[in-house]
Amino acid sequence: MRIVFFGTPAFAEASLRALLHAGHHVVGLVTQPDRPHGRSRSVLVPPPVKLLADSEGIPVLQPERPTGDVFLAGLRRFDADLGIVVAYGHILRQEVLDTPRLGMLNVHASLLPRLRGAAPIQWAIARGDSRTGVSIMRMEAGLDSGPVFHRLATPIGERETGGELTDRLARIGAEALTETLARMPRLLLEGEPQDDSLATYAPKITRQSARIDWSRDAESIARGIRAFDPVPGAWAELDGQEVKLFGGTAGEGIGEPGRVLAADDRLLIATGLGAVEVMEVQPAGKRRLDAAAWLHGRPPLTGGQFT
């Protein structure tokens, strides 16, 4: 069976590597263009999946957007039986979904129908879910609404960050994908329809959604800090300057929301209910560092106000 693979970040690389290891015939890769990195923005860095594809001699398409006659012609030249999409980052139009003869499968990082959308990993932590997982679904025009072929669940660790959970789900997703293809070699069976009444959504993470609302309770703020670690980083302002906060845990303390209650060997900040202890910080334009080291290198902060 000829497979065309759509994906971009390291999360997708794990699935592509698993397909190749299992002996599947991947005839093409569609990924995003190389992006500039570094201070000068002069060095173009390819997506992780492109490096793997190049090493295996797999042809690569890198459209800015997967639309238009030129892109469709290139996609059709792969002559694929099946498409597989893993964290590609673009919504695919019906004409793209219909190009492989057997349609397209998606590796989605939630237990559908829960957390359809762009950022299920981060929102699973932020909303306090005790478990999550990966679903293998057939793609259709709706948002992550197609029938599901396979699910693998996993508990969410009490202190697990978004980055750590992403790494684990990448491995689980690769396993779920290869299990699905092994069980359905011809992919002619119908998947399990989703119950739309049970659907919840995980919207794209914006700058505003990562800003800390100190009026909330300590538990929910701590979850948000872990969810957005390492990117984009939960943030607040101190003396008009942006500071990203990492390693949040709920603790005890009473004070005006955002008020610094302790700033000696630890950073303790009051919330709407309880307080949050922060282990690491990243001031704007600087590196991430231990909160204690940051506190020792600046004027006394106790009584200061995060907003």
C-alpha–C-alpha distance, residues 248 and 234, integer Å: 10
pLDDT in tens, 278-288: 999 999 989 99
Whether the full predicted model's pTM is greater than 0.85, yes or no, is yes
- Mean pLDDT score of the chain: 94
Assess contact for 257 and 236: CB atoms under 8 A. Answer: no
User: Is the pLDDT confidence value at 254 over 90?
Assistant: yes
CATH number, domain of 285, equals 3.10.25.10
User: Is the pLDDT confidence value at 85 over 70?
Assistant: yes
248 and 194 in one domain? Answer: no
Assess contact for 3 and 82: CB atoms under 8 A. Answer: yes
**Residue 302 within a domain:** no
Query: What is the number of residues in the chain?
Result: 307
136 and 275 in one domain? Answer: no
Region 247-252: mean pLDDT is: 94
Helices 48-55 and 10-21 sit at what angle, rounded to 10 degrees? Answer: 30
pLDDT in tens, 129-180: 999 999 999 999 889 999 999 999 999 999 999 999 999 999 999 999 999 9
Please give the pLDDT value at position 185: 58
155 and 40 in one domain? Answer: yes
Q: Which of 169, 198, 227 is the last residue of a domain?
A: 198
- pLDDT bin (cut points 50, 70, 90) of residue 186 is low
278 and 169 in one domain? Answer: no
26 and 103 in one domain? Answer: yes
pLDDT in tens, 33-75: 998 887 777 789 999 999 999 999 999 999 999 999 999 999 9
CA distances from 13 to 8, 39, 58, 64, 265 (A): 7, 26, 13, 19, 40
> Tell me, what amino acid is at 254?
I
**Residue 28 within a domain:** yes
Please give the pLDDT value at position 37: 81
For residue 153, the number of C-alpha atoms closer than 13 Å in the C-beta half-sphere is 7
Please give the pLDDT value at position 305: 96
For residue 249, the number of C-alpha atoms closer than 13 Å in the C-beta half-sphere is 9
Region 248-267: mean pLDDT is: 93
pLDDT in tens, 288-302: 999 999 998 788 888
276 and 171 in one domain? Answer: no
- pLDDT bin (cut points 50, 70, 90) of residue 187 is low
**Residue 135 within a domain:** yes
122 and 45 in one domain? Answer: yes
Instruction: Provide the domain limits for residue 290.
Output: 218-296
7 and 87 in one domain? Answer: yes
The full DSSP string for 144-155 is S-SPEEEEEEEE
